[in-house]
Structure 1
């Protein structure tokens, strides 16, 4: 299994080539209560951290990243690095009911 730093390196390298926003990601980003921009996604990729690693994902190795967008708002995104691009699977604003105060650990239900 790859370690988290390895997936982060692959995510950033793939993002530097091209980012492909999957339909689900575009729908989630465009929700009126979210309105997450491509610039915010880029900021999370460039300065954020991997908080969950999914090496066995059916879409290929993917991860959940956490970072900050405009006005310092927290953003989560799921992405999967490919040889020629980074697939952006989804993006959302994490809710305090599902995440700890630092938005990086899931609250146990």
Structure 2
């Protein structure tokens, strides 16, 4: 299983691929590949899903240079590229400090 440092390094290098769902969401939400690379510089795991349906994954939080918060759910399977499962800008009505889900 990939470590956070491996995921971070691959995201920063642009070594990532989108699931069909994630690509659709990136287009709908106007999230660029450059923003993904920017957000990955200080990325942190906010939720871990070791028993996820298809593969172990985690939810990451990072900020772009323009301070746009992004959540990226990524697979932690060993591979040449990080697979982005979904991505979005977290809603402040649903998240506290973008890190914890509101009750």
Structure 1 position 80, deviation (Å): 1.0
Instruction: Indicate the structure with greater strand content.
Output: 2
Q: Is the 8 A contact 2:8 2:43 kept in 1?
A: no
- The CA RMSD measured in Å over matched residues stands at 2.0
Residue 14 of structure 1, CA deviation:
4.6
TM-score by length of 1: 0.80
Structure 2 residue aligned with 1:90: 86
Distance change in 2, residues 1:70/1:12 (3 Å): closer
Q: Gaps (5+ residues) in structure 2?
A: none
User: Are the counterparts in 1 of residues 42 and 62 from structure 2 also a CA contact under 8 Å?
Assistant: yes
- Shift in Å at residue 25 of structure 1? 0.8
Q: Any gaps of 5 or more consecutive residues in structure 1?
A: none
Would the alpha carbon gap of residues 23 and 70 (structure 1) be closer, same or farther in structure 2, given more than 3 Å must change? farther
Q: State the Cα distance separating 1:45 from its structure 2 match.
A: 2.5
> Is 1:18 the equivalent of 2:2?
no
SS of structure 2 residue aligned to 1:53: strand
| Shift, 1:46, TM fit | 2.8
Judged with a 3 Å threshold, the aligned counterparts in structure 2 of structure 1 residues 37 and 106 are, in CA distance, closer, same or farther, namely same
Could you state the TM-score of these two structures normalised by the residue count of structure 2? 0.84
**Counterpart position of 1:107:** 102
Structure 2 CA distance, aligned partners of 1:91 and 1:24? 9
**Once structures 1 and 2 are overlaid, which stretch shifts more, 7-16 or 83-92?**
7-16
